[in-house]
Amino acid sequence: MKQNRPGGVFHPSSFILHTSYFILHTSYFFDAASARVVRLQVGRLRASQAVYRKPAKPVETQPMARKTTTQEEKSPKEAASPAQPRPSSGSLFGLCLAAWLVPGLGHFMLGRKGRAVVLFLAIVGMFLCGLAMQGQFFATGSPSYLHTLGYFAELSIGVPMPAATFFGYGGGNVYFVCSDYGTAFLISAGMLNVLTVLDAYDIALGRKS
C-alpha cells in the first residue's frame, strides 16, 4: 500500500496564507515608493518657491503693524473724533465753583442742558422737601463732630442753603414729627450736589461723555 508524501498534498489554507503575505509585502513596497516620490516632489516644490520668493521688507511692515495695533486699541468713536485739548486749571476751578453754587450749572456750561435741568430739579426739589419737613440746619459751633459734618454736608448744596436762611427759614424744628426725615433730605441733597460737581469735572476732562 502506497502512502502519499506530505509534500505532494495541496493545502488551500497554506496557499491563501502565502498569497496574503505576498500581497501585504507588495503593498508595503509600493507605499514606501510612493511616499519617497511624494517627499521628492514636496522638496522640489519648496526649492522652487524659495528661489522665486521675493524678500520681505520689515522696515515698511513695522509701521503698518504699529498703526493697526493703535487703531485696534482705540474705539471707533475715539478714532473718529479728534483729541480735545485739556482745559486750564482756572476754567476747571470756575466750572466746579459754578456747579457747587447752583446744582446743574456746571453741566449747563458744558452743553449738557437736559442733564442740567434734571439735576437741578432733583437736588433742589429734595432740598425743598427737607425744608417742608422742618429739617435741621447744623452749625459749626456744636461740640459734636457729627453736627459739624452735617453742616458741611448741607453747605454742599450751594446757594439754596443761604437763600433759605435769607428768606426766613429758622433752621428747623427738632420737635416736628418729620424733622429727622427732613434733615436726612437736606444732607442727601448736599451729597448729591457733590457728586454732580465731580461728574461735571470728569466731563470737562473728557473722562465721561
A 10 A CB-CB count for 134 gives 21
Is 138 strand, coil or helix? coil
pLDDT of residue 90: 85
pLDDT in tens, 18-60: 665 566 556 555 566 666 766 777 677 777 666 555 555 555 5
pLDDT of residue 5: 47
pLDDT of residue 117: 95
- What value does the mean pLDDT of the chain take? 77
Residue found by looking up cell 433752621 in the block: 171
H helices present in 82-170, as ranges:
89-101, 105-109, 113-132, 145-155, 160-166
Question: Which residues, 6 or more positions from 20, have their beta carbon under 8 angstroms from its beta carbon?
Answer: none
Where is pLDDT greater, at 124 or 81?
A: 124
pLDDT of residue 133: 92
Element (H, E) at 2: none
**Residue 82 buriedness (CB in 10 A; 0-12 / 13-18 / 19+):** exposed
